[in-house]
A and B are shown apart, each in its own frame.
Chain A
Amino acid sequence: MNHEPVELSVNIGGIQLKNPVMTASGTFGYGEEYAPYVGLDKLGAIVVKGISLEPRPGNPPPRIVETTGGMLNSIGLENIGVDRFIGEKLPYLIDSGATIIVNIFGSSIEEYRDVANKLDDTHGISGLEINISCPNVKEGGMTFGTDPHMAFELVNLIRESTKLPLIVKLSPNVTDITEITRSVQDAGADAISLINTIKGMAIDIKTKTPKLANITGGLSGPAIKPIALGMVWEVARVAEIPVIGIGGIMNAHDALEFIIAGASAIQVGTANFINPKATMDILSGIEKYLGDHGIGDIKSLIGTLRI
């Protein structure tokens, strides 16, 4: 079936994306790893692997375990640090023509601010995603994402120290995700992304030991999609800023569910590991759906859930 061209661009808190398909932090490396499979400039945006002030070795192996319909990871935010990222990884990404969003984290509020500051002065970055939701590190990470007051304080400080648009990535490991949503929105977040992985574990019954060296890890993949979708819908109802849906999106059907639930864009995570071209397949699937349903602009599909 031939269709009229459809409008796929969306604006996420001041970041203009050519389409709503982004990559999720930690699942697409620094971009170049997937360049043989994906035209990086074809993506809505690349969200780079989480960056801290200093390099971090991450957790010891084993770090990943396959589970039913998903995987557990306990990478522990391994990264090369902000200075090496700017020097070694960013030039390639800029040359690729990708829209670049950098995921940042720290073990203290001040460290988050310092990373944001360094990136604020750096050419080529469209926005920051603040990770307050990693379940695999002892300090920082999820502790900021489960306490509305700490989340407010953190986002507020970063807001004062950078002009870049701020996306705050939320944890599902909370009682009421809308409470954190309101906190970070009040603190000046420009957009919200959710969900990060869900804390879980796996046990080897032969040895009676945990399968991950870190004992627990973050669950991702299709196994978490219904949880993510429910939370995106809840958050989108209360948020006054754009919401980015993440969690077990494997194909265009999954992505469309999130958009209908209220997500203005989506991030593809674990699916990249299974199908390195997953983002491109999802993009073409969304385009086909819009064409087939006579929808000329993706924006008119966002939050159209009928109840």
Chain B
Amino acid sequence: MYQVFSKILFNTEVSPTYYKMGLDCPEIASRAAPGQFIMVRVSNQWDPFLRRPFVIHRTGKANTKGEKRCSDCQLEILYKVVGKGTEIMSEMKEDDEIDLLGPMGKGYRIDTNIRTAILVGGGIGVASLFSLAENIILQCSGLKSLLLFLGGKGRDDVLCVEEFEKLSLEVRVATEDGSLGQQGVVVDLLLDYLKFGDYSPGSSTHCFACGPDTMLREVSKITGEKSISCQISLEARMACAVGACLGCIVKTKAGGDVYKKVCKDGPVFDSNDIIWK
């Protein structure tokens, strides 16, 4: 893990209240794996006090189909303005310096035998799936099908569709207000897709999901019933991100007498390991 002062390459609003920030930080970018995150210090003052965690949206390392959007030393985060910290971030400009820690945590594990990969993203949860999709394409030579199900409250909450389509992903969308794609929640898309087909162990179908806890709980239940391997990326309040403060804990079947730490043991977990409330 590195602490670096990184230059902001761009900070662009991609949809109302959603921003994409490009960062020049070779130490972190060159070592980052899909699903890992960075800790951002948004102010030199003590208010806001704590760093903010942001999953790494993409890095320059993955380079599919000849497209190269950023160099090896750069990474991008995608974030939603939800409070004081992200509001300050949204006002940062190109060439400003920002204090980062990373890459933090354990990301997605990619089984190179995957033949069908189903990616499920709820709202800003899509942020962690882009780098994952790029790496699945790079690493899984027998890949037959790569699907992305995206959900949000309305069309403004559904991000990066075109970018995923450029990677040749099959993208299906659901919005709660019906303003884009099918009306409903993203879990409906997953249920529809899984109605048919053989998903017994050995079929090499893997699911990856990131989004709100309610969505992850549903995805875990559905994939569990079909015996589909599923990894989920959890969000939690955290202070240190190195496993010291014990603020970001989750109950797991393997946890024993102590909780698992989202920051260090995760943020990506096998869905079967989580004990939901």
A273 touches which of B48, B50, B256, B264 (Cβ 8 Å): B50
Tell me the bound Cα distance from A275 to B100 in angstroms: 10
Number of A interface residues at 8 Å Cβ cutoff, please give it.
42
B237 touches which of A62, A68, A276 (Cβ 8 Å): A62
Contact yes or no, B258 A78, CB < 8 A: yes
A243: interface (CB < 8 Å): no
Tell me the bound Cα distance from A26 to B101 in angstroms: 20
Binds A, one of B59-67, B129-137, B239-247: B239-247
- A306 → B minimal CB distance (Å): 28
Q: How many contacts A-B (CB < 8 Å)?
A: 105
B257: interface (CB < 8 Å): yes
A87: interface (CB < 8 Å): no
Tell me the bound Cα distance from A223 to B49 in angstroms: 10
Contact yes or no, B239 A71, CB < 8 A: yes
Chain B, range 228-269, C-beta contacts under 8 Å to A: 236-240, 242-250, 256-259, 264
Please give, as numbers and ranges, the residues of chain B lying within 8 Å of A71 by CB-CB distance: 49-50, 239
Contact yes or no, A69 B245, CB < 8 A: no
B106: interface (CB < 8 Å): no
- B37 → A minimal CB distance (Å): 15
B196: interface (CB < 8 Å): no
Chain A, range 53-73, C-beta contacts under 8 Å to B: 54-58, 61-71, 73
Contact yes or no, B49 A66, CB < 8 A: yes
A residues apposed to B, CB below 8 Å: 26-29, 33-34, 36-37, 49, 54-58, 61-71, 73, 75, 78-81, 221-223, 250, 270, 272-277
Contact yes or no, B246 A273, CB < 8 A: no
B160: interface (CB < 8 Å): no
Contact yes or no, A273 B245, CB < 8 A: yes
Number of B interface residues at 8 Å Cβ cutoff, please give it.
29
Provide the main secondary structure of the chain B interface. Answer: loop
- Give 20 pairs: A residue, B residue, CB < 8 Å, sorted on A: A26-B246, A29-B242, A34-B242, A58-B258, A62-B237, A63-B249, A64-B238, A64-B245, A66-B48, A66-B49, A70-B49, A71-B49, A75-B247, A78-B246, A80-B257, A80-B258, A221-B46, A273-B51, A273-B245, A276-B240
Please give, as numbers and ranges, the residues of chain A lying within 8 Å of B49 by CB-CB distance: 66-71, 221-222, 274
B225: interface (CB < 8 Å): no
Please give, as numbers and ranges, the residues of chain A lying within 8 Å of B88 by CB-CB distance: none
Contact yes or no, A222 B46, CB < 8 A: yes
Please give, as numbers and ranges, the residues of chain A lying within 8 Å of B248 by CB-CB distance: 61, 64
- A131 → B minimal CB distance (Å): 15
Tell me the bound Cα distance from A226 to B259 in angstroms: 34
Tell me the bound Cα distance from A250 to B46 in angstroms: 10
Please give, as numbers and ranges, the residues of chain A lying within 8 Å of B264 by CB-CB distance: 33
